[in-house]
Structure 1
Amino acid sequence: MSTGAWVLVAAVVAALLFGLYRAYADGRFRGTHEVRGGPPDDTHEPSVLAGADLDHELGERATLLQFSSAFCAPCRATRRILADVAGVVPGVEHVEIDAEHHLDLVRRLGITRTPTTLVLDERGREVTRATGAPEKQQVLGALAGLLAD
């Protein structure tokens, strides 16, 4: 086999592996991100929205904070799913933020792509996050532990 054919095979295998990883990882809630500029003290940890110029109310029990952009097709699907969950689960609000218009908040929270969904507790602290479009069951599962307390 020629060198060009080996390069082609390697490129196809790399693309396949990357695609499989993205299919596995997209929409899964896992971990949190350390908010830059915030104190590490858990008892006085501020809302992730503290200092942001936003007019959004937090949910009584939880908030689904979605970062999206204008030309993002998965963002529209995520919007529908999160709004549906917020409509079904009492005390949960859905807040959508245009990442392009709030770059300071995007940088501070470590948002690297859209859609990104953050699950916030009643005080606005990040509990978990997902990049990519989550499924409804994944969102409900992420809220289950928070709402059980």
Structure 2
Amino acid sequence: MHPPSLTGALVLVAVLAAAGAFGWWRRRHDGRLRAVRERTPAAPGRTGSGAAGDPPHRATLAALGVRPGVVTLVQFSAPVCAPCRATRRVLDEVTGRLDGVALLEVGVDEHLDAARDLDVWRTPTVLVVDAAGRVVRRAAGVPDRAELLAALAPLTAGAAR
């Protein structure tokens, strides 16, 4: 008889440790608003930049319905996405609390090119677009209500109550 091999047990422990680390990382980053750095030149094949001086993706955002002069929350969602419904509830509550903030829900299945242009790779994804038409923050997953309110406060400071 051969002594029992520990290789299988070690592989199992390694896989469980990797899965646990990934779950911890995902939970810490899911739904967190992060600042978006503005790209100066458009990447090859990108359609989002317009005239000189325009924010990147202005044409794409305008085609989706983002109006100039209005702070807009753009939610990319899919019909079979359960977290998208939770995100919609959070965004409805936030836009109900703040004047001067519009909400736009975009179906990725109908607007696949726009999703690609805006680097949306999962649903839900929320983009915070300032009044100048720049994407200033983004979150993949259900955003935290308090964090979203804090991010919108400086953008809506001039909105009339």
TM bucket normalised to smaller: 0.7 to 0.9
Structure 1 vs Structure 2 CA RMSD: 2.2
Task: Name 1:86's counterpart in structure 2.
Answer: 95
Alignment partner for residue 6 of structure 2, among 2, 10, 13? 2
Asked if 1:125 corresponds to 2:134, the answer is: yes
Could you tell me whether the CA contact under 8 Å between 2:55 and 2:133 is conserved in 1?
Answer: no
TM-score normalized by structure 1? 0.86
Relative to structure 1, is the Cα distance of residues 130 and 26 closer, same or farther in structure 2, using a 3 angstrom cutoff? same
- Runs (5+) with no aligned partner, structure 2: none
Cα distance change, pair 99–107 in 1 and its aligned pair in 2 (3 A): same
1:145 CA drift (Å):
3.1
On the 8 A contact 2:125/2:140 being kept in 1, the answer is yes
Between 1 and 2, higher relative CO (CA 8 Å, sep ≥ 6) is seen in 1
Distance between the aligned counterparts of 2:85 and 2:24, measured in 1?
Answer: 23
TM-score, normalised to structure 2, is: 0.80
Q: Does the 8 A contact of 1:59 with 1:92 survive in 2? A: no
1:12-66 CA distance string (max 9 Å, x none):
000000000011001111122647331595x42262413x3x4x35385410000
Tell me if structure 2 keeps the 8 A contact 1:78–1:133: yes
1:65 corresponds to which residue? 74
Q: Deviations over 1:89-121 (max 9, x none)?
A: 000011000011100101101101000000001
Question: Whose helix fraction is larger, Structure 1's or Structure 2's?
Answer: 1
Q: Report the counterpart of residue 20 of structure 2 in structure 1.
A: 16
Q: Deviation of residue 83 (structure 1)?
A: 1.1
Q: Quick one: which amino acid aligns to residue 134 of structure 2?
A: R
User: Which one of the candidate residues 38, 48, 54 is aligned to 1:44?
Assistant: 54
Question: Where does residue 34 of structure 2 map in the other structure?
Answer: 30
* Alpha-carbon distance in 1 for matches of 2:51, 2:121: 22
Task: Provide the C-alpha distance between the structure 2 equivalents of 1:139 and 1:23, rounded to a whole number of angstroms.
Answer: 17
- Structure 1, unpaired ranges of 5+: none
Secondary structure of the equivalent of 1:44? Answer: coil
Q: CA 1:40–1:18 in structure 2 vs 1: closer, same or farther (change >3 Å)?
A: farther
Distance in 1 (alpha carbons) for counterparts of 2:132 and 2:123:
24
Aligned AA for 1:19?
G
> Separation in 2 of the partners of 1:95 and 1:125?
15
